[in-house]
Amino acid sequence: MTQLAETYACMPSTERGRGILIAGNPKPGSNSVLYTNGRSVVILNLDNPLDISVYAEHAYPATVARFSPNGEWVASADSSGAVRIWGAYNDHVLKKEFKVLSGRIDDLQWSPDGLRIVASGDGKGKSLVRAFMWDSGTNVGEFDGHSRRVLSCAFKPTRPFRIVTCGEDFLVNFYEGPPFKFKLSRRDHSNFVNCLRFSPDGNRFISVSSDKKGIIYDGKTGEKIGELSSDGGHTGSIYAVSWSPDSKQVITVSADKSAKIWDISEDGSGNLRKTLTSSGSGGVDDMLVGCLWQNNHLVTVSLGGTISIYTAGDLDKAPVSFSGHMKNVSSLSVLKGDPKVILSSSYDGLIIKWIQGIGFSGRVQRKESTQIKCLAAVDEEIVTSGYDNKVCRVSGSGDAEFIDIGCQPKDLSLALQCPEFALVSTDTGVVLLRGAKIVSTINLGFAVTASTVAPDGTEAIIGAQDGKLRIYSISGDTLTEEAVLEKHRGAISVIHYSPDLSMFASGDLNREAVVWDRSSREVRLKNMLYHTARINCLAWSPDSSTVATGSLDTCVIIYEVDKPASNRLTIKGAHLGGVYGLAFTDDFSVVSSGEDACIRVWKINRQ
């Protein structure tokens, strides 16, 4: 039996030039936040970042999610205009699904009694905003007045109910109801109005915009009563705003990489209280795009996917920062050491270190953040290849060396015992690298799809498009073909030697994996055909007794080499979208990563 031991969460997906919205649990004492990444909605506990829950039922990329005022339900919206209402605990049972708008939904809010929901977004001309009853979907108002995408909406948290909306047409609209009707419109901003929030006591609301201003309005009438002072104001677009629970302060985050806390006085003017700058390297990734004031925590999210949590009571204290992946995690590697460090990389060039039991441990700093396709790591050295024709070697001290190999690298492997030797396979052949020098480029004449090199650097196995495995012995800078093995019926996707070097396993695009005996080159375990889509990755346990395969069908299947393939353990639905990386940290724990940008650790209990 297998069970999920840990999940390292993905971060909210961000987009340059737009803010993102994260929501917090309104139940007092609860510190969980909600955000979306790809098609999943993630509930993260701020006190314990390893405690996360993922809802993955949307058919389209999810955009925003919110807890209901009683904390029992979550309403989440996606880019097709559908809103799903599901239970916040346990199995996330779906209550209802509505098709609300004809385009992407950008913001969603519950009414304070939990009976109505207002959703705003892009509606292709018609209905850009809709408010409806949560259980029946009947409309509760007419929302005209906007001509372009409505970026945010807010529900007044106290009676009399009001809805305000703001959008790309620079307008802030005020509606009274229910049934909601247009009351007035204000054009105080000179650029996109990004976010709009009512204070928790309902007396005021604030709108922030890409014109760097924040304007405060009266909650009941919609009249402007003040602004955030320009003294010490933001120097970049303000993307999001959040009120403190006592309605006296707001936090705003901006593209100028800082978050500012303002005191809002009784007469409606805002004065700067404190500026929080992030301690990043100052690049585009540090632009802050989302914020939330949750009880005593101030959460800010940066474009690069770092969540920083400040303590509201003590603003000078350094924040707790953690990060994660935002895109498909395409490879995983486990570094020996104590405790074991797991390295994961995603195609956008992010390499992150994780420690089992603790979670996020740090990012590997890379001076040039090029995209990464393959990654191989041994102890202190990391070798990566991307979509330019270069292979990059990063040593423990951070020095990066780039080697241009002349064509696109398809697969990369290091000889584990002498890591300066690397084998890179390309479309037509292989390139042998020693250190930072190309030893030789060998044109093999067939389309190479996967390759691996033995830990002592004397043997290499190359898999081809036609499903044949060819074993070569390496001497100096030449390869001599020793044998050709035919069993696979599809292009080979991955080959790995077992840690004790007695066997190797290969997986192909036709869903089949085979374990071979190295010295006799005979099939050791066959009929590993239980996947229903191509095999993406494969890993051996440290004692060479177990093989795990991960596939596009989102399952991880674990086989024991000594037992028949039918005695397998299957982990279904490990990662929405497909499993792309697999590694073993010890004989009973498998780490898997996939398209949903999460990394999960599973414990295996063998009978």
Report how far apart the first and last C-alpha atoms of the chain are (Å, whole number): 8
Q: Which of 284, 387, 527, 586 binds other proteins (CB under 8 A)?
A: 527
Q: Which stretch binds other proteins (CB under 8 A): 259-267, 435-443, 462-470, 525-533?
A: 525-533
Shortest distance (Å) from residue 171 CB to other proteins: 59
Shortest distance (Å) from residue 504 CB to other proteins: 21
Nearer to other proteins, 187 or 489 (CB): 489
Near other proteins in 484-513, by CB under 8 A: 489
Shortest distance (Å) from residue 543 CB to other proteins: 25
Helix (H, G, I), strand (E, B) or coil at 483: strand
Beta bridge partners of 320: 309
Nearer to other proteins, 566 or 605 (CB): 566
Nearer to other proteins, 475 or 566 (CB): 566
Return the half-sphere exposure (C-beta side, CA atoms, 13 A cut-off) of residue 39. Answer: 13
Q: Which of 310, 497, 530, 584 binds other proteins (CB under 8 A)?
A: 530
Contact, 389 vs 406, CB < 8 A?
Answer: yes
Shortest distance (Å) from residue 517 CB to other proteins: 18
Shortest distance (Å) from residue 532 CB to other proteins: 9
The number of angstroms, rounded, from the C-alpha of 261 to the middle of its chain's C-alpha atoms is 28
Tell me if 529 contacts other proteins by CB under 8 A.
yes
In the shown chain, the binding pattern of residues 543 to 582 toward other proteins, with x for contact by CB under 8 A and - for none, equals ---------------------xxx----------------
Nearer to other proteins, 517 or 587 (CB): 517
Shortest distance (Å) from residue 369 CB to other proteins: 42
Nearer to other proteins, 181 or 489 (CB): 489
Helix (H, G, I), strand (E, B) or coil at 435: coil
Distant-in-sequence, close-in-space partners of 573: CB < 8 Å, separation ≥ 6:
554, 555
Give the per-residue SS3 of 176-219: ECCCEEEEEEECCCCCCEEEEEECCCCCEEEEEECCCCEEEEEC
Near other proteins in 395-424, by CB under 8 A: none
Q: How many chain residues interact with other proteins (CB under 8 A)?
A: 7
Shortest distance (Å) from residue 65 CB to other proteins: 37
Nearer to other proteins, 309 or 557 (CB): 557
DSSP class of residue 11?
Answer: P
Nearer to other proteins, 48 or 567 (CB): 567
Bond into 69 cis (ω within 30) = no
Q: Which stretch binds other proteins (CB under 8 A): 159-167, 425-433, 522-530, 584-592?
A: 522-530
Element (H, E) at 55: strand 52-55
Nearer to other proteins, 51 or 560 (CB): 560
Nearest partner of 238 among 267, 222, 269, 262, judged by Cα? 262
Shortest distance (Å) from residue 605 CB to other proteins: 19
Shortest distance (Å) from residue 529 CB to other proteins: 5
Nearer to other proteins, 530 or 584 (CB): 530
441-450 LR contacts (CB < 8 Å, sep 24+): 441/405, 441/406, 442/478, 442/479, 444/479, 448/410, 448/411, 449/410, 449/411, 449/425, 449/491, 449/492, 449/493, 450/410, 450/411, 450/425, 450/492, 450/493, 450/494, 450/495, 450/506
- Distance (Å, rounded) from C-alpha 313 to C-alpha 296? 7
Q: Which residues bind other proteins (CB under 8 A)?
A: 489, 527, 529-530, 564-566
